[in-house]
Amino acid sequence: MELVSVAALADNRVIGDDGGLPWPSIPADKQQYRERIADDPVILGRVTFESMLDDLPGAAQIVLSRRQQSFDLPTAHHAADVDDAITVAEGLAAETVYVIGGAVIYDLFQPHLDRMVLSRVAGTYEGDAFYPEWGDADWRLESTTEYDRFRLEEWVRTTPTTAE
Alpha-carbon distance 37 to 73, whole Å?
18
SS3 at position 109: helix
Alpha-carbon distance 125 to 22, whole Å?
6
Alpha-carbon distance 57 to 66, whole Å?
21
Answer whether residue 125 shows pLDDT above 70: yes
Domain ranges across the chain:
2-157
SS3 at position 71: coil
Rounded mean pLDDT of 80-95? 96
Rounded mean pLDDT of 94-105? 97
Answer whether residue 93 shows pLDDT above 80: yes
Give the pLDDT of residue 68.
Answer: 78
As a whole number, the mean pLDDT across the chain is 95
Answer whether residue 164 shows pLDDT above 70: no
Which amino acid, residue 132? P
State yes or no: cis peptide before 20, omega within 30 of 0: no
Query: E strands within 11-127?
Result: 14-16, 41-45, 60-64, 76-79, 96-99, 115-121
Count CB atoms within 10 A of the CB of residue 135.
8
Rounded mean pLDDT of 77-93? 96
Answer whether residue 124 shows pLDDT above 90: yes
Give the pLDDT of residue 160.
Answer: 85
Count CB atoms within 10 A of the CB of residue 134.
16
Phi-psi region for residue 62, left (φ > 0), alpha (ψ -120 to 50) or beta? beta
| pLDDT tens string 3-61 | 999 999 999 999 999 999 999 999 999 999 999 999 999 999 999 999 998 889 999 99
Rounded mean pLDDT of 96-108? 97
Rounded mean pLDDT of 69-92? 94
**Closest alpha carbon to 56 in 70, 69, 67, 42:** 42
Rg for the chain, CA atoms, rounded: 15
48 CB-side CA count, 13 A: 24
Answer whether residue 129 shows pLDDT above 80: yes
Tell me the CATH number for domain 2-157: 3.40.430.10
